């Protein structure tokens, strides 16, 4: 399993300041990702070294934000004061995950500012809404060179993630061993009052940074 990206959700009035704060901490500026019309959300992204990226996402004033599981998850995290929404695992073929979860994936897309229509399939948002420690799964439907992580804007890379939750449950959900659920990314299990993605550790040119 490969970490595709991590998502940080905020309210609309904190969106720009959060993008600036995280970009400053990581030593690089975000780029406008565009609008997710089916989910009622929009994002800014920061492509990192190592084939991952950070997404800062907020809801739009749009009915889709109330209907779509992703919009609901973003709105709920924003209402809690904002913070890490979750971690996203990339798969080459989402069909086995669909079979395991017993339903089909949802298609998503957003049109980048350059006009390219970025498309993917995703599944697992319903589980994330029920249990914030769990990741969701994504299969890109575009060539590798068009993916958000294809053009790193910095040498900063994700070194590890800290998750409050039950390692065995996450391992079962992923179908991967609990002691090493992700390729090339360290996963640390921590104690916290609420389950979910607690922190992301980055390796930057100026040393380690944890957000």
* pLDDT tops 80 at residue 1: no
Q: pLDDT digits over 7-36, tens only?
A: 999 999 999 999 999 999 999 999 999 899
Quote the CA–CA distance of 83 and 198 in Å, as a whole number: 9
Quote the CA–CA distance of 5 and 207 in Å, as a whole number: 21
Quote the CA–CA distance of 200 and 186 in Å, as a whole number: 10
The sign of the dihedral angle between the CA atoms of 34, 66, 139, 2 is: positive
Quote the CA–CA distance of 43 and 87 in Å, as a whole number: 15
Q: State the average pLDDT over residues 138-152.
A: 94
pLDDT of residue 173: 87
Q: pLDDT digits over 69-121, tens only?
A: 899 999 999 999 999 999 999 999 999 999 989 999 999 898 888 899 999 99
Sheet arrangement for strand 186-190: 186-190, 157-164, 196-204, 207-210
Q: State the average pLDDT over residues 185-198.
A: 88
pLDDT of residue 166: 87
pLDDT of residue 136: 92
* pLDDT tops 70 at residue 179: no
pTM: 0.92
pLDDT of residue 64: 86
* pLDDT tops 90 at residue 38: no
Quote the CA–CA distance of 197 and 84 in Å, as a whole number: 6
Q: State the average pLDDT over residues 110-135.
A: 91
Across the chain, mean pLDDT equals: 92
pLDDT of residue 178: 64
* pLDDT tops 90 at residue 43: yes
């Amino acid at each position: 399993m490969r970490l595709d990206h991590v998502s940080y959700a905020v309210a609309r009035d904190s969106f720009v300041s959060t993008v600036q704060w995280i970009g400053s901490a990581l030593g690089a500026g975000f780029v406008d990702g565009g609008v997710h019309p089916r989910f009622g959300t929009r994002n800014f992204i920061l492509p990192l070294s190592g084939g991952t990226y950070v997404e800062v996402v907020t809801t739009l004033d749009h009915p889709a934000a109330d209907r779509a599981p992703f919009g609901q998850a973003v709105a709920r995290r924003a209402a809690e004061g904002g913070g890490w929404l979750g971690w996203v695992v990339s798969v080459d073929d989402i069909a086995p995950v669909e079979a395991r979860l017993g339903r089909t994936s949802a298609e998503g897309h957003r049109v980048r500012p350059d006009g390219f229509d970025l498309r993917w399939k995703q599944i697992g948002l319903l589980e994330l809404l029920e249990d914030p420690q769990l990741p969701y799964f994504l299969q890109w439907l575009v060539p590798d060179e068009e993916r958000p992580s294809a053009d790193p804007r910095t040498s900063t890379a994700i070194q590890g993630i800290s998750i409050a939750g039950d390692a065995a449950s996450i391992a079962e959900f992923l179908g991967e061993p609990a002691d090493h659920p992700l390729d090339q990314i360290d996963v640390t299990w921590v104690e916290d009052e609420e389950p979910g993605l607690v922190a992301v550790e980055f390796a930057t040119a100026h040393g380690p940074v944890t957000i």
